[in-house]
Amino acid sequence: MKRILLCSFVFVFLLAVTGPIMGQEQIGGPYTTDENTMLLMHFDDDLINVSDKSADGQAHGVTYYVPNNISGLGQALRIDNDSQSDSSFVTVADTAYLDLTGNWTIEGWINIFTFGEGGSDWRWVPRLVIKTGDEVFWRPNYWVEMWGSDRFFSMGYHTATQDQWPQVNTPENTMEVGKWYHMAYIRDTSRHVLIGLVHNENRELVNFNVVDYMTFGDENTDHTPITTDQPLHIGYAGGGGDSFLDGFVDEVRISDNVREFPVPPIITNVSEWENQSTDTPEYPVEAKIYSLFNNVTSRTLYYDAGNGWQQVDMTATGEEDMYAATIPQQPVDSKIKYFVKAVDDEGLEFTQPQKAEELENYYEFIVYEVQPNSNTLSLDFESGSGMPVDGGVHSHDITMMGNPQYKSDVVADGSYSMYLEGDSSYMEVESPYLNSEEYTVDFWMNADSAHTYCRIINRPIDPGNWYQNCYQIRFNPDSRLLAGGWNEYDGYVTAVLDDSVHLGKWYHLIYEVQKAPEGDTTNYYGIFQLRDESDNFMSQKYFTFDSAVVQASAPLRIGYAAGRAHYEGYLDNINIYNYPNAALTPKDSTATAIDREKNLAEIPNRYSLAQNYPNPFNPTTEIKFSIGRHEKVSLVVYNILGQEVRTLINDDMVPGEHKIAWNGTDDSGRRVATGVYIYKLKTDNFSKVKKMVFMK
């Protein structure tokens, strides 16, 4: 079954696009105003806005003018934030003309002199332009910024419903210190795309990125941009302490139309094939391919199944801008690589995935032959040294990361177990055979620690994902174990055992997914069972879901999931089956059977914010809260005047109980004064405020 890549970020390097084509205007100015110009600032020794639709700029902190070495641009504005106390930036007063909700082109030149690499630095996410949000600064009408931790540019906006933030990002390491870049950020409502163009000081296109903004959220999402009553900011986000630009800006222009720059062909919505069994007769690949201003002259699918690259012309499917070509059926164990390429009548070209030929970055899948009712992985660690030997039907190669250690003094069965030290050690298995519609995950564990949300076994859809899995087993709060998976219909479906596990003891864990009997009101059962060191039954939970879990293609990870704590302890007799081998009964009379709604309450479907403890406090306090769904979460500390002091959380989080400590410092690491502080938990579905007292 194929999976459509709904959101495609794309990148291309074009060597010499130095001037306008087909009547398109000069890249980067200097510009003159027209009826679509909402703002135009040349920074030639002043902050005059030559558009009559918005006000002149107002300087804050230390700003001055320097000659710009880019031809025709005259002077540039230096925004000096080389010291944390400078707080230098420019604002333009709010006006309805600066609130953009339709087509737009937002441009400017930026030259970053110094930058920060983390949230403790005032220059971590310097902004070129942002129409700051009302409630919180990071919910703006639009933004153009750079993230110092990975040196990539990001351009995006926030929706009026405040639940999505479509954005288009360049690849990492795009920005180099001391170099001029022209940024052009386009929103085209006729194609519902966001386009990011980055040009160098010679006005050559060096980065091209595009995303279909309708793919953010579900089919009912309103993608209309939010509007705000805040001023436009240049060089600062208008809030927080980590967004000051230390560098130069020039020729900032905001327009309410799509400016005609040289834009390569656009390719989105490419069919991305997962690993396929031998009974799949062929592999059709579709893609949406078009040009904004030119004519696309060729659309080609390239594929290599081990015998060199083949190419097939793509033909129209009948749907607007959709084209397709087919990769023929390939024999078992074939590894197929493919990409799509388009060229327009001006010679501009683009490949998807980004820069496929140069970086050898392709879509890939494997053709495999399923052996029904088989033990697809079996690790007993009885080799005692070297790489673990897989005793399953496929004899997989096991990759050991860090320093896993064989142990003979603490075992569940046989002579050896495997010990992971909890720092950097884990195991990976890359194979198309380690997920299926029905399956059993069966292993023994003896943990030295129970880090909350640490994954013991994790089969994600991609290596950087930690929650969208074919299956996972992890620690929840209070040393309780969770098992579950992800599907497109139900989302995140899980069960949490009632029993807390004890450190230093062996447990037998069995997690099984099976199809429901014909005529049942559900489609699948997930059953999670815990047994003690003597293999005696302890407890069981089950849940139901309506569609099969994702068929993941990333490597199976044992002892680690991306961005989460490593497992610390012993593992033994790890077995995975492609059928319900354990034959567990969902409503086992010896277990506590619960329905799905009640079970999901184990991961609270209610929201709460607890009183911090201790309170009053010094030097630290702990804040606990619960959320009921996977969503964006912010937890911010304010002083009694309502001024933001510290952002504790601003991230996507999974449902469940969470806790975080605050040590009485602000975003800059400075100790706050004795007094009353307010902390506010905010999600798309919940908002709660409580007070606390810090005492020195």
Q: What is the DSSP string of 550-564?
A: P---SPEEES--TTS
- Residue 270 near residue 8 (C-beta atoms within 8 A): yes
Residues 6+ apart with CB under 8 A from 319: none
- Residue 243 near residue 126 (C-beta atoms within 8 A): yes
> In whole angstroms, what is the distance from residue 319 CA to residue 323 CA?
8
Count of alpha carbons within 13 angstroms of residue 179, beta-carbon side: 15
Given pLDDT bands bounded at 50, 70 and 90, which one contains residue 163?
A: confident
585 CA to centre of own chain: 37
Phi then psi dihedrals of residue 654, to 5 deg: -85, 160
546 CA to centre of own chain: 26
Handedness of CA 253, 258, 263, 269 (dihedral sign): positive
- Residue 110 near residue 125 (C-beta atoms within 8 A): no
Residue 1 has pLDDT above 80, yes or no: no
Residue 565 has pLDDT above 80, yes or no: yes
Residues 6+ apart with CB under 8 A from 655: 492, 603, 604, 605, 627, 628, 629, 630
Residue 597 has pLDDT above 80, yes or no: no
Instruction: Identify the pLDDT of residue 654.
Output: 65
> In whole angstroms, what is the distance from residue 404 CA to residue 427 CA?
8
Instruction: Identify the pLDDT of residue 695.
Output: 82
> In whole angstroms, what is the distance from residue 618 CA to residue 614 CA?
8
For 382, left (φ over 0), alpha (ψ -120 to 50), or beta? Answer: alpha
> In whole angstroms, what is the distance from residue 285 CA to residue 314 CA?
9
Q: For 286-307, what is each residue's pLDDT tens digit?
A: 999 999 888 999 999 999 999 9
Q: For 64-93, what is each residue's pLDDT tens digit?
A: 999 999 989 999 999 999 998 899 999 999
Tell me the sheet residues that pair with 108: 183
The helix or strand, by DSSP H or E, that contains position 623, with its residue range, turns out to be strand 621-627
Given pLDDT bands bounded at 50, 70 and 90, which one contains residue 13?
A: very low
Instruction: Identify the pLDDT of residue 604.
Output: 43
Given pLDDT bands bounded at 50, 70 and 90, which one contains residue 24?
A: low
Provide the 8-state DSSP code for 239.
S
Handedness of CA 169, 172, 174, 178 (dihedral sign): positive
Residue 12 has pLDDT above 70, yes or no: no
Nearest to 186 by CA among 260, 106, 131, 289: 106
Instruction: Identify the pLDDT of residue 454.
Output: 93
Residue 192 has pLDDT above 80, yes or no: yes
Q: What is the CATH number of domain 608-694?
A: 2.60.40.4070
Question: What is the residue extent of each domain of the chain?
Answer: 18-255, 266-368, 375-600, 608-694
Residue 27, CA distances (Å) to 105, 261, 263, 440 in order: 12, 7, 11, 58
Instruction: Identify the pLDDT of residue 232.
Output: 97
Q: For 106-160, what is each residue's pLDDT tens digit?
A: 999 999 999 998 878 999 999 999 999 998 898 999 999 999 988 999 999 999 9
Q: Judge residue 580's burial from the number of C-beta atoms within 10 Å of its C-beta, 0-12 exposed, 13-18 middle, 19 or more buried.
A: middle
What is the value of pTM for the model shown? 0.59
Write out the two tokens for 604: 């609270």
Give the three-state DSSP class for 478: helix
At 507, which amino acid appears? Y
Tell me, yes or no, if the two domains 18-255 and 608-694 fold the same way.
no
Given the DSSP bridges, would you call strands 205-212 and 104-114 parallel, antiparallel or unpaired? Answer: unpaired
> In whole angstroms, what is the distance from residue 88 CA to residue 60 CA?
5
> In whole angstroms, what is the distance from residue 10 CA to residue 196 CA?
10
> In whole angstroms, what is the distance from residue 175 CA to residue 302 CA?
31
> In whole angstroms, what is the distance from residue 381 CA to residue 413 CA?
10
Given pLDDT bands bounded at 50, 70 and 90, which one contains residue 22?
A: very low
> In whole angstroms, what is the distance from residue 412 CA to residue 446 CA?
9
Q: What is the CATH number of domain 18-255?
A: 2.60.120.200
Residue 58 has pLDDT above 60, yes or no: yes
Residue 460, CA distances (Å) to 185, 434, 550, 564, 655 in order: 33, 11, 9, 13, 18
Tell me the sheet residues that pair with 165: none
Mean pLDDT of the chain: 88
Give ∠ CA 483-486-490 in degrees, rounded to 5: 110
Q: CATH class for domain 375-600?
A: mainly beta
Residue 589 has pLDDT above 80, yes or no: no
> In whole angstroms, what is the distance from residue 573 CA to residue 244 CA?
53
> In whole angstroms, what is the distance from residue 240 CA to residue 345 CA?
46
Entry field: residues in the chain:
696
Q: For 311-338, what is each residue's pLDDT tens digit?
A: 999 999 999 999 999 999 999 888 899 9
Q: Over pLDDT 90: what percentage of the chain?
A: 59
At 449, which amino acid appears? S
Q: Judge residue 463's burial from the number of C-beta atoms within 10 Å of its C-beta, 0-12 exposed, 13-18 middle, 19 or more buried.
A: middle
Residue 605 has pLDDT above 70, yes or no: no
Q: What is the CATH number of domain 266-368?
A: 2.60.40.650
Given pLDDT bands bounded at 50, 70 and 90, which one contains residue 23?
A: very low
> In whole angstroms, what is the distance from residue 399 CA to residue 291 CA?
44
Write out the two tokens for 532: 């003690």
Given pLDDT bands bounded at 50, 70 and 90, which one contains residue 606?
A: low
Given pLDDT bands bounded at 50, 70 and 90, which one contains residue 607?
A: confident
- Residue 457 near residue 441 (C-beta atoms within 8 A): yes
